[in-house]
Amino acid sequence: MSVIGQPLARIDGRLKVTGGAKFTAEFPIPGLVHAFVVQSTISCGRITAIDSADAERTAGVLAVLTPNNAPKLPSPQQRLSLLQDDKIHYNAQPVAVVVAASLEQAQYAASLIRIQYQSEPPHLDFKAGFPRSYPGSHVGEPGDLSFGDVEAGLREAAIHVDRVYTTPIQHHCPMEPHATIAQWDGDRLTVHDSSQYVYARKGSLAEIFRIPEGNVRVIALFVGGGFGCKGEIWSHVVLAAMAARQVNRPVKLVLDRQQMFGPVGARPMTHQHVTLGATREGKLTAIRHEVHSNTSFLEDYLESAAFPSRSMYACANVSTISRLVQLNLGTPTYMRAPGVATGTYALEVAMDELAYELQLDPLQLRLLNYADLDPQTKHPFTEKHLRECYQQGADKFGWSRRNHQPRSMRDGSLLIGWGMATETYPANRQPASALVRVKPDGRVLVASATHEIGNGTYTVLAQVAADALGFSPDLIDVEIGDTVLPESPISAGSMTVASVTPAVQAAAMEVRRKWTPEAKLPIEAVVKVSPDRNLKKSFAPHSFGAVFAEVSVNEPIGMVRVRRVVAVYDVGRLINERTAKSQFISGIVWGISLALHEDTHVDSRNGRIVNANLAEYHIPVNMDIGAIDVSAVDIPDMKLDPLGARGIGEIGITGTGAAIANAIFHATGKRIRELPITPDKLLP
């Protein structure tokens, strides 16, 4: 019987719960010393003087790197802060690095450095920056895209919804902070790094230090959460390598919790103006979605929040507009379901508002506007079974018992609200390579330079190899997270399974082909598999889902509790039912956090993040989460990849925030369009 789809326990689970799994900061490298980053206290201007004499005289200090003495890099990247000049672009920008025998010595010496600045008026007012905003793009896709005639569609409409929805800056907050260990052997560099993309890290370091790529090795065996912030290379990685070369010792640089806010990316804030037009029967005639989001003065990053409106519903007239506003903050970056999490929130709340304008059930409105073809490309979807998701989710949740009127459902003194939304995420694939080797002892090695970021990669690769070879999964050994292994893409964009498992399957099948009665062990195959370049010319690959939420609201104090969430997904074939459900659940928890908790507060005077810790930056804990029921229709998408599996790490966030916001309106009759929905916004 096939092991594909079976709920196998994670093969790395025992290592993690017993402390055997080595994360980046835990490698015991002989001669290791410690680095600590000093950060700016202004957000715009320049350094006029640095006094590091006291720090340099402190016991244990080996070096203090500043813009005055840091080695000039052959190819510094403009987006990084690498002590190459005196300019300050954001608060918490790295301005010095102290290297010492112990972390405590480095931290103490850093506190002795005196820096003088010439401050300039910073750009920190988001809305004031709208007039100077400009277009952007996201991973090669234009931020502005329209089809049909939106103005004509709005004139045709009998009912209009014209609203603004806002989301704040949010930070990733992985439990494992960013960490790097760098060591040089001549002109060869080895880096342990908490990374979602070791091969890109290898290429960037080779370029910055102008050494051959073959001289760089990057290792990330386990990542304790990344959620996007560990995809790009950040300044501390290069600074660790600079410091290691300077002191000729291995250097460990671990950001503390406060340093995780500012210099390593965040989800940018959004201001989303959504306009919908519909007939009196509920058919959409027009969608306009205009988004402003912040970026930095170092690099453009576009939050693609308008993009979901291009493919969610059958509408002939759609306009999506994206504008960037430069602020003196650190560069934003991808954060789990980038753009889609915030964009589906706005669109799906607007659809709920339209349903109330039309006096239609919100689910009925979505079924009326069901898209059988991708509205943007007019291509069929590779597979789409969203109707089944709607039906199964509604049945499980008991949606038919919902009273449409706000404030109509109670549990004692508590107001009860039911809301729903559609979920979606693009189905992505990139080229990936894998090695499969049957060893003389009968065990099988599966190797690929992909990553374990908490999603179960070790386990699903073992399952795919075991299935292809006809072996027990217990006989499979998996090695990942090292650039000496076959190249694989970034573990992001919900594409690891769809990218890497076909390569593992193909390599395993090649081993089977070579395995004759006369063959001698070991037998191995290395295979690179690339997605069909013409796929998107004929099909639209997307995943979909339906999410239903129940909240209770204690009206006198404005307290919201999410009592239960039911969600059903169309994500192709499940490789591992257990890890898949964990991914769905974690996505829903993130959606709850998006709706009710997360909000980065920036001091408007100096750009400092004032809640840069886990005490004041609110993320959900166990008591914040009610019952979560997740399932999938589990229909393979064989047009996308040979195993029929799509990625699932991000879809659970999309739509969940809107479903909760819609449930709160149903409970209270108050429509809150500014996330997070905190008690003060619901007080009578």
CB–CB of 312/367 below 8 Å? no
How far is it, in rounded angstroms, from Cα 486 to Cα 370?
A: 42
CB–CB of 677/615 below 8 Å? no
**Distances in Å between the alpha carbon of 221 and those of 28, 183, 188, 203, 535?**
14, 17, 20, 18, 33
Identify residue 606 by its one-letter amino acid code: N
Number of helical H runs and strand E runs in the chain: 14, 27
Residue 502 token pair: 């076909």
Collapse the DSSP code of 188 into the 3-class scheme (helix H, G, I; strand E, B; otherwise coil) and give the result: strand
CB–CB of 481/490 below 8 Å? no
33-39 and 251-254 as β-strands: parallel, antiparallel, unpaired? parallel
CB–CB of 333/301 below 8 Å? yes
Residue 650 annotated as catalytic: yes
DSSP secondary structure code for residue 83 in this structure: S
What residues have CB less than 8 Å from 287, skipping those under 6 apart?
Answer: 150, 274, 275, 276, 277, 309, 313, 315, 317, 318, 319, 347
**Distances in Å between the alpha carbon of 8 and those of 274, 313, 324, 435, 473?**
44, 37, 45, 22, 9
What residues have CB less than 8 Å from 108, skipping those under 6 apart?
Answer: 58
Q: Is the peptide bond before 7 cis (omega within 30 degrees of 0)?
A: no
| DSSP, residue by residue, 463-476 | HHHHHHHT--GGGE
Angular region, 368: left φ>0, alpha ψ -120 to 50, beta rest: alpha
**Three state DSSP letters for 371-403:** CCECCCCCCEECCCCHHHHHHHHHHHHCHHHCC
DSSP secondary structure code for residue 624 in this structure: G
Q: Quickly count: other Cβ atoms within 10 Å of residue 183's Cβ.
A: 22
β strands within 495-587, DSSP E:
523-529, 542-554, 559-570
Q: Quickly count: other Cβ atoms within 10 Å of residue 142's Cβ.
A: 13
DSSP bridge partners of 273: 164, 290
Q: Which residues of 484-510 are buried (b: 16+ CB within 10 A; e: fewer)?
A: ebbbbbbbbbbbbbbbbbbbbbbbbbb
**Distances in Å between the alpha carbon of 410 and those of 205, 248, 632, 673?**
59, 68, 31, 23
DSSP bridge partners of 224: none
Residue 516 token pair: 């004759």
Which residue in the list 232, 290, 303, 650 is annotated as catalytic?
A: 650
DSSP bridge partners of 529: 432
Active site residues: 650
